[in-house]
Chains A and B, each alone.
Chain A
Amino acid sequence: MTGLFYALLSLGGFALLAGVVLAIAQQVFHVEGDPMVDKVDNLLPQTQCGQCGYPGCKPYATAVAALEAEVNHCVPGGERTMLAIADLMGVEPKAVEQEAAAPMLAFVREDECIGCTLCIKACPVDAIIGAPKQYHTILADHCTGCELCVEPCPVDCIDMLVKPELIEHWSWPLPKTRRSQLGHERREHHAGHA
């Protein structure tokens, strides 16, 4: 009889203790929102271009984290971003539908600009400065090349230019040896099949 009593007491006591610890932990380590969203958002290029079909990077990250969207919709991110997200989410990589284009930059032809401020309202990263009836100009250092300002412009004075390559940003290519190329081909082969 005492054996049963001890067993009940010890198990019950342990359950009580675990309950208390869990209750405290829930309060102390409470996480607001889904941490996965931020992790996915961190991998995205933050162009806010909307080419994924969502109104920005965060909404797409939310959809991916909730398993509502595929991992391969980010066009500017390209294959590398897709692989990183797939790795993070633990899902199978999917081939990207569209090749990532060279990084672009919007440019306002100032003598044609009528100062309507429509592009300023469209810019998701506040990279356009100007005021009503004043020329607008785009801050090249902040432009993500999302093209969202091109469509609203009533006089079509915004060009998308290829981002100029800077000598400071030049980096050495992979050495052109047979082995290094072989390795590269093999990697691409694996990525294509996965």
Chain B
Amino acid sequence: MPAMLRNLAQRLGMMAHSFDGGIHPAQHKISAALASEPCPLSPIHILPMKMHIGAPCTSLVAVGDYVLRGQKIAKSEGYVSVPVHAPTSGRVVRIEEYAIPHPSGMGIPSIFIESDGDDAADDSIEPISDWRGMDPALLRERARMCGLAGLGGAVFPTFIKLVQDSRFPIETVVLNGIECEPWLTNDHRLMVEYADEILTGLAIIMHMVKTDSAIIAIEDNKPDAAKAIQLALDARDDLDDVRVVVLPTRYPQGSEKQLIYSLTGREVPAGKLPMHVGVLCQNVGTTRALYQAVVLGQPLTERMVSVSGDAMPRPANLRVRIGTPMRYVFARQGLEDFDGVRILHGGPMMGELLRHPDVPVVKSTNGMLAMREASFMSAHTQEQACIRCGHCSEACPAGLVPNLLADQCRSDQFDKAESYNLFDCIECGACSYVCPSNIPLVHYFRYGKGQIAQQRREKGFAEASRVRSEARDMRIEQEKQARAARRSSVRKTHPPKVEAESAPASEPAESSKMEQESKD
């Protein structure tokens, strides 16, 4: 009932909108007050051929080549893809498969660059100071060629979202400075230290999608960030219709669809994009990277990373070159012995547990957490029976029924799980967090989603094979008929002397039938 009352009040405008569900995990933002520092250049950088969602890139360099910082070293193949750039100057020493931050521990082809220490930059990309007078399409191309992908963690190629579609005009740009994951503070520091650059980036985005209105969303656990952004905003003479909105802290507020609902009351339908409700959502880090790409002409070669965790001797917010080995970054912060330490890529709620620190920092690395094994406990190996308390349904921000879905995934009833909208799950982990029976709900959903994806892939492959096999059968049949027709026409002009009277062979249909009979 209270939920219904709240919905009604929100619709009537008596109450601010707020997404359903959510949790309040302990914040642990121990690195929030630490000013960002540059991470020194590592002797080697490892650039995987794919750091975004979409098609992998192909290498443009060979072993032994000398590259400059910002030089394009791999080109994108396909539309949903962005190129890779050298993070510093140096020589390409190897191109081979190397592990990436991925739960499978598997690797992909990567380019190894040994830095020469000069850090000489490639200045072939012109800075654009007069971006206001530029065609948005050119700026969009700039975002693509500078390798921009969503730095909040999803790494979706940014240029794809920065488009004017006459069917879906963007009314509001939402700048996502929520950072609801515990421990992570990288967006927080960016907003405090680079507020003006972020606002310029926002102005570029607003110019590109032709809108005057924007909302900068920040959670109330970062008052200094909200203040810094507000001060920078007041100092500017543009961006009149831009509001800073401070939202009460709740996880997963930073999730795109949930945030848009909290701010505008618009619900992004399942399977649709924010663009379909007239909203464009960008992370603050991506927005600053866009500023650097346009105004400074710098491709994406560096990002802010929160290095934290309860096993981290010196937590920090580091500006790390992409491709820097994580072991090197950890060593700089005083962590060299990984015994009894677990490493997380990203935050504790949605991040990935890594098997070892021998992976590079990639575009999606918003945090690197070193956690003591003891703080993981063994909670999820002691799964108990579901007691139907319903806490998971209350916590689910997507309005699903997690306990039901988990039962379906566990018992391989995938079509049923799909009909209960398994694919609307954003894998935020709120349900697993609240479950008193320690059921690893999200893991079941991931398992189910993976199995469904595999079944779809197999189905697609089988379908393609069937089409090919049927086409082949048809071709063989046609060839056979063509041969028979040719034979019969030859026989008409040169009738065989011996069986001239027994085989008239005038109609091709008859002759082919005959041939089949003779074959049988």
| Total chain A interface residues with beta-carbon distance under 8 A | 30
Residue in B closest to A45 when the chains form the complex, CB atoms:
B462
- The answer, among A46, A173, A187, for a CB contact under 8 Å with B411, is A187
What's the least CB distance linking A187 to chain B, in Å?
Answer: 7
Q: Is A175 an interface residue (CB 8 A)?
A: yes
User: Could you tell me the distance between the alpha carbons of A142 and B466 in the complex, rounded to whole angstroms?
Assistant: 11
What's the least CB distance linking B475 to chain A, in Å?
Answer: 8
Q: Evaluate contact between A167 and B383: CB separation under 8 angstroms.
A: no
Q: Is B506 an interface residue (CB 8 A)?
A: no
Q: Is A176 an interface residue (CB 8 A)?
A: yes
Q: Which of A4-12, A64-72, A119-127 sits within the interface?
A: A119-127
Q: Is A170 an interface residue (CB 8 A)?
A: yes
Residues on the A chain within 8 Å of B381, using CB: 176-178
Q: Evaluate contact between B440 and A167: CB separation under 8 angstroms.
A: no
Given contacts A171-B450, A174-B447, contact A179 B383 (CB under 8 A): yes
Q: Mark A168-194, 1 if CB is under 8 A from B, else 0.
A: 011111111111100100010000000
Residues on the B chain within 8 Å of A171, using CB: 446-447, 449-451, 453-454
Given contacts A46-B465, A167-B102, contact A175 B472 (CB under 8 A): no
Question: Which applies to chain B's interface (DSSP): helix, strand, loop or mixed?
Answer: helix
Residue in A closest to B472 when the chains form the complex, CB atoms:
A126
Residue in A closest to B100 when the chains form the complex, CB atoms:
A167
Residues on the A chain within 8 Å of B384, using CB: 179
User: Could you tell me the distance between the alpha carbons of A104 and B204 in the complex, rounded to whole angstroms?
Assistant: 51
Q: Evaluate contact between B443 and A175: CB separation under 8 angstroms.
A: yes
Q: Evaluate contact between B380 and A167: CB separation under 8 angstroms.
A: no
Q: Evaluate contact between A180 and B465: CB separation under 8 angstroms.
A: no
Q: Evaluate contact between B446 and A172: CB separation under 8 angstroms.
A: yes
Given contacts A45-B458, A177-B440, A179-B383, contact A172 B468 (CB under 8 A): no
User: Could you tell me the distance between the alpha carbons of A135 and B385 in the complex, rounded to whole angstroms?
Assistant: 60
Q: Evaluate contact between A167 and B106: CB separation under 8 angstroms.
A: yes
Q: Mark B373-392, 1 if CB is under 8 A from A, else 0.
A: 00000001111110000000
Q: Evaluate contact between A44 and B464: CB separation under 8 angstroms.
A: no
Q: Is B471 an interface residue (CB 8 A)?
A: yes
Q: Is B482 an interface residue (CB 8 A)?
A: no
Q: Is A41 an interface residue (CB 8 A)?
A: yes
Residue in B closest to A186 when the chains form the complex, CB atoms:
B411
User: Could you tell me the distance between the alpha carbons of A122 and B253 in the complex, rounded to whole angstroms?
Assistant: 58
User: Could you tell me the distance between the alpha carbons of A170 and B100 in the complex, rounded to whole angstroms?
Assistant: 13
Q: Is A144 an interface residue (CB 8 A)?
A: yes
- The answer, among A142, A165, A174, A175, for a CB contact under 8 Å with B380, is A175
Given contacts A45-B458, A179-B385, contact A126 B450 (CB under 8 A): no
Q: Evaluate contact between B462 and A44: CB separation under 8 angstroms.
A: yes
Q: Is B164 an interface residue (CB 8 A)?
A: no
Q: Is B161 an interface residue (CB 8 A)?
A: no
- The answer, among A46, A172, A179, for a CB contact under 8 Å with B447, is A172
6 tightest A-B CB contacts, nearest first: A171-B450, A172-B446, A177-B383, A46-B462, A175-B443, A46-B465
For the complex with contacts A46-B463, A172-B443, 8 further pairs of A-B residues with Cβ separation under 8 Å are A57-B466, A165-B106, A169-B457, A171-B453, A175-B383, A177-B380, A179-B384, A183-B410
| 10 A-B residue pairings within 8 Å (CB atoms) | A46-B463, A126-B471, A126-B472, A144-B465, A171-B447, A175-B443, A177-B440, A178-B382, A183-B410, A183-B411
